[in-house]
C-alpha cells in the first residue's frame, strides 16, 4: 500500500456535483493498493496514520497525533500512486490492483482506520471521477509505502 497523507484544515470529495465527504481539521489520505497488499499492510498503515505526530502542540511543535487532536479523516482510493514512469512518457499501472482485488482491500482499510480512530471516516467513491478539494495545513505532506518502511 502506498499513501499520501496531507494534514488539512478542511477537505471534501465531490462526485458529479454531489458532496460525498467533508471534514474540517484532520488528514486527507490518498491510498494506492497493489496486489501484494495483505492484512498486515492494512493494520500497520492504519496504526501509523492515526498515531503520526504531525499536529502542533501548544508550543507550535508537531508533537500530537490525529487521535490526540480528535481530527477527522477522508480516505480516497488512487491507483495512480502505483504508476511506473521509468520507461517512456506514458505511465504504466501494472502494479496497481484491479478493482476486484482493490475494492475489498480499500474497504478493509477504511474499517481498520475507523476502528483505530474510534469514529467514522469519510471516503471517496471507488473508481469515480472525483473532485478533491483541500486546504493543506503547513503544508504537511507525507508519503508512506508499506513495502518500503522508512
Show which residues are catalytic.
80
3-state secondary structure (DSSP) of residue 123: strand
Among candidate residues 76, 137, 126, the one with its CA nearest the CA of residue 98: 126
Q: Where are the beta strands (DSSP E) in the chain?
A: 2-15, 18-23, 26-32, 55-56, 62-64, 72-77, 122-123, 130-145
Q: Is it true that the peptide bond before 139 is cis, omega within 30 degrees of 0?
A: yes
3-state secondary structure (DSSP) of residue 47: helix
| Reduced DSSP (H G I as helix, E B as strand, rest coil) percent helix, strand, coil of the chain, to 5 | 25, 40, 35
Q: Are 9 and 148 in contact (CB under 8 A)?
A: no
Amino acid at each position: 500500500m502506498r499513501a499520501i497523507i496531507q494534514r488539512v484544515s478542511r477537505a471534501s470529495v465531490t462526485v458529479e456535483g454531489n458532496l460525498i465527504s467533508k471534514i474540517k481539521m484532520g488528514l486527507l489520505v490518498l491510498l494506492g493498493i497493489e496486489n501484494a497488499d495483505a492484512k498486515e499492510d492494512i493494520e500497520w498503515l492504519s496504526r501509523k496514520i492515526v498515531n503520526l505526530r504531525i499536529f502542533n502542540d501548544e508550543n507550535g511543535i508537531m508533537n500530537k497525533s490525529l487521535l490526540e487532536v480528535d481530527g477527522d479523516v477522508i480516505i480516497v482510493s488512487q491507483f495512480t500512486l502505483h504508476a511506473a514512469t521509468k520507461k517512456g512518457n506514458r505511465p504504466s499501472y501494472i502494479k496497481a490492483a484491479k478493482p476486484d482485488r482493490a475494492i475489498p482491500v480499500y474497504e478493509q482499510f477504511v474499517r481498520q482506520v475507523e476502528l483505530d480512530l474510534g469514529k467514522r471516516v469519510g471516503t471517496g467513491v471507488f473508481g469515480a471521477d472525483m473532485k478533491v478539494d483541500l486546504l493543506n495545513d503547513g503544508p504537511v505532506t507525507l508519503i508512506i509505502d508499506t513495502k518500503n518502511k522508512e
